[in-house]
Amino acid sequence: MARRDLWPRVEPLLARVERPARYLNHEWGCADPVAEGDTAFCMIYPDTYELGQANQAVRILVNAVNAAAGMGAERAFLPAVDMADLMREEGVPLFSLESCRPVADFDVVGITLPHELAATNVLETLDLAGIPLRTAERAEDDPIVLAGGPCAYNPEPYAPFFDVILVGEGEEQLPETVALIRDLRASGASRAEILREIARKVGGAYVPSLYRWRDESEAQKAGSWVEPLFEDVPAVVHKRVFEGFAESSALEPMIVPYTEVVHDRLNVEILRGCARGCRFCQAGMMYRPVRERSADNIVAAVREGLAVTGYDEVSLTSLSSTDHSQIAEILTRVNADCAGLGVRISVPSQRLDSFGVEMAELVAGQKKGGLTFAPEAGTQRLRDVINKNVTEDDLFSAIDAAFAAGWRRCKLYFMVGLPTETDDDIKGIASLAQRAYDRAKAAVPADQRGSIRMSVSCAVFVPKAQTPFQWDGQISPEETLRRVGLLKRSVKYKAVDVHYHDPKTSFVEAVMSRGGREVADWVEEAWRRGARFDAWTELFNEGAWTGAAEALGISPAEIAQAEYGTDYVLPWAHITAAVSPKFLARERERAASGITTPDCTFENCAACGACPTLGMDIELQKLREAKDGGEPAKNPYRAILGSEANVEEGAML
């Protein structure tokens, strides 16, 4: 088929829309269009350029496909509402950036599912591309449509829309899948044959159309909601892990956008995974085992990355970068490299202690904006339930250090509606924030106390698949508002302000997070009724979602709020992040008794099952120092990669 170039039809539209730079391509570092004859993959982020171009998965996966032989990747993003409407009016379909050709002309299309509020945007994307919404409706020459990303851990609400859902890390899995499609297409295989082969051969590939969906009682008896239609299709899909992560270069090809995007900076991924073990956190379960890249690798990537991109900011990314065993060395070296260049350095951190503040101080320079801490719960009892291994003293010593070092603003993150939460826990949030304010005041000279700001930010607890709290329900939106009201009344200080997340969107998140295959109809109906860009507060269309539920006669509240025992088989039981269901159930029981579980990167193995199941180890550059400064506990699954540290670990074993 001759390539269709849509640019002559796109260009005239650009004068009529906001931020035309979203649609231009031609950024510094952008790749060439896919070469003629190569299998063409289109990587799509189902939201606008500003969000998608900054996304790590998009960058990694485009690079991975471009690095493989015989295939190439281009990018596409969902146009903003003004452009999407104009394109429909003018009959212009969704296009890729690099060659500006219709997305429907690609051999393979991949949509990442970054969060639970992207579902209607997936349909908007497919519709704008002119690709049939459901796998069952697609013809032989339609692209094979893949999904991946965090939501793949409960794929069922998306199941009918995708030909293949890839679970886990995609660095190797995606090029493997594209290569298989290429080879099978070349040999004349049919679409059905291709999908079957992917399910058989690609680790972590889930092909929903090859499974029959069971009803509840059958599922509970069988131990799974899906039944493979063929013997050679896996009954349980295990996530893939990129085993070479720690040794791979932290420097990746990078595109430098023209228009301002979120996280518009050089992002260097310094470690993957977090084993702190917060019981509500999906990321903490998804990316096990923890793997660190070396200080030399990271420092070189920052130096080279800044030089080739021209960025004036670098972020050392991961779920909790201050946990890296070499973080002090890394920051000191990066700081020295950046001296006098006007380059800002940022380090996301989950660490709530004075060490975390010390690290933040290392890179903050003179400009100390705000610091963010996430105690998540207001009382020690509830923090023990959720396994947030943080005490009031930890928080207060962090506050002391931060305000003494010159910070004047602090944001405290909490969750409302956590399992076992009572009104005392809500009042505890107010009390904790006010006492934190008192500590801050004591740490600041009297004449500067007026500038102290402490803000409390509350999200609604969303139960996530593959976590110890997956069996717990979400509280109703009305109950959320009552608890937030109680919190607001309990805060007496004027300098402490309270913000909270809209419970209506969190409700949709919970349904998407916990629902089964039946939820897909709800998503489609809501989209038909006008829901799209649900994550954009001002565009969230509540009426479309409630109207869709009524029309279909389903009760989303039941899905979001149902409480189950740990023996209940959940709709994602056929997907595993390698953390065993037994571990999740045990963690849920320990939560009920308020017993905490330590972080296995500092302490002994907590027997989550990830390492033995995957045949891997935690990979650290050197031993992480235990919090009390003492000798770290032994862990049979801990490998030390750094050269000096090898000696230490050898001696210890």
Which of ligand SF4, other proteins, none binds 308 (CB below 5-8 Å, type-dependent)? other proteins
409 with 364: CB under 8 angstroms? no
Cβ neighbours for 202, distance < 8 A, ≥ 6 positions apart: 166, 173, 176, 177, 180
The minimum distance between CB 610 and ligand SF4, in angstroms, equals 4
| Minimum distance from residue 454 beta carbon to other proteins (Å) | 21
CA pair distance 189, 64, nearest whole angstrom: 25
Which one of other proteins, ligand SF4, none interacts with residue 366, CB within 5 to 8 A by kind? Answer: other proteins
Compute the least distance from the CB of residue 38 to ligand SF4, in Å. 38
Strands 575-576 and 237-238, sheet pairing: parallel
Place of tokens 């997907």: 575
**Total residues at interface with ligand SF4 (CB under 6 A):** 14
Q: How far apart are CA 377 and CA 384, in angstroms?
A: 9
Closest distance of CB 129 from other proteins, Å:
22
Angle at 150 between CA 143 and CA 593, to 5 degrees: 155
Q: Does 241 bind ligand SF4 (CB under 6 A)?
A: no
Site membership for ligand SF4, residue 467 (CB under 6 A): no
Q: Min. distance of Cβ 29 from other proteins in angstroms?
A: 10
Nearest Cα neighbor of 144 from 167, 117, 172, 110 is 110
The partner in contact with residue 611, picked from other proteins, ligand SF4, none with C-beta cut-offs of 5 to 8 angstroms by kind, is ligand SF4
Question: Closest distance between other proteins and the C-beta of residue 30, in Å?
Answer: 9
606 binds, among other proteins, ligand SF4, none (CB under 5 to 8 A by kind): ligand SF4
Binding mask 409-448 toward ligand SF4 (x if CB under 6 A, else -) reads ----------------------------------------
Tokens read off for 586: 């045990």
Shortest Å distance, C-beta 110 to ligand SF4: 28
| Strands 271-272, 291-292: pairing kind | antiparallel
Query: 144-148 and 496-500 as β-strands: parallel, antiparallel, unpaired?
Result: unpaired
Q: Which of residues 571-630 bind ligand SF4 (CB under 6 A)?
A: 600, 605-611, 618
Residue 285 vs 549, nearer CB to ligand SF4: 285
Q: List, in sequence order, every beta strand (DSSP E) within 523-642.
A: 575-576, 618-620, 638-640
Residues that bind other proteins in the complex, under the rule CB under 8 A: 11, 14-15, 19-21, 24-28, 256, 258-260, 306-312, 340-342, 365-367
Chain positions 632 to 651 lying near ligand SF4, rule: CB under 6 A, are 635, 637
Q: Which residue, 188, 186, 174, 163, is CA-closest to 66?
A: 174
Strands (E), 331-398: 344-346, 370-376
Taking CB under 6 A as the criterion, the residue among 22, 288, 483, 514 binding ligand SF4 is 288
With CB under 5 to 8 Å by kind, the binding choice for 284 among other proteins, ligand SF4, none is none
- Which among ligand SF4, other proteins, none contacts residue 260 (Cβ within 5 to 8 A by kind)? other proteins
Straight-line distance from the first to the last Cα atom of the chain, in angstroms, rounded to the nearest whole number: 62
610 binds, among other proteins, ligand SF4, none (CB under 5 to 8 A by kind): ligand SF4
Interatomic CA distance for residues 568 and 217, integer angstroms: 11
In contact, 460 and 475? CB cutoff 8 Å: yes
Q: Which is nearer to ligand SF4, 351 or 638 (CB)?
A: 638
| CA 454, chain centre distance (Å) | 27
Instruction: Supply the minimum distance, in Å, between the C-beta of residue 620 and ligand SF4.
Output: 11
CA distance 191 to 139: 8
Structure tokens at 117: 């509020």
Alpha helix (H) residue ranges in 470-609: 477-490, 503-514, 519-528, 542-552, 556-561, 581-592
For position 284 contacting ligand SF4 by CB under 6 A, the verdict is: no
* Minimal distance, residue 574 CB to ligand SF4, in Å: 21
309 binds, among ligand SF4, other proteins, none (CB under 5 to 8 A by kind): other proteins
Site string for ligand SF4, 506-545 (x = CB under 6 A): ----------------------------------------
Q: How many other CB atoms are found less than 10 A from the CB of residue 253?
A: 13
Task: Give whichever of 33 and 273 is closer to ligand SF4, judged by the CB atom.
Answer: 273
Instruction: Pick the closer one to ligand SF4 by CB: 193 or 631.
Output: 631
Pick one of 275, 443, 460, 462: the residue that binds ligand SF4 (CB under 6 A). 275
Spell out the SS3 assignment of 163-227: CEEECECHHHHHHHHHHHHHHHHHCCCCHHHHHHHHHHHCCCEECHHHEEECCHHHHHHHCCCEE
Q: How far is the CB of 42 from ligand SF4 (least distance, A)?
A: 35
Q: Please tell me the chain's helix, strand, coil percentages from 3-state DSSP, rounded to the nearest 5.
A: 45, 15, 45
The C-alpha atoms of residue 545 and residue 508 are separated, in whole angstroms, by 8
- Pick 2 or 341: Cβ nearer other proteins: 341
| 25 binding partner (options ligand SF4, other proteins, none; Cβ < 5 to 8 Å by kind) | other proteins
Rounded to a whole number of angstroms, the minimum distance from the CB of residue 345 to other proteins is: 13
Q: Which is nearer to other proteins, 11 or 589 (CB)?
A: 11
- Sites of contact with ligand SF4 (CB under 6 A): 275, 288-289, 600, 605-611, 618, 635, 637
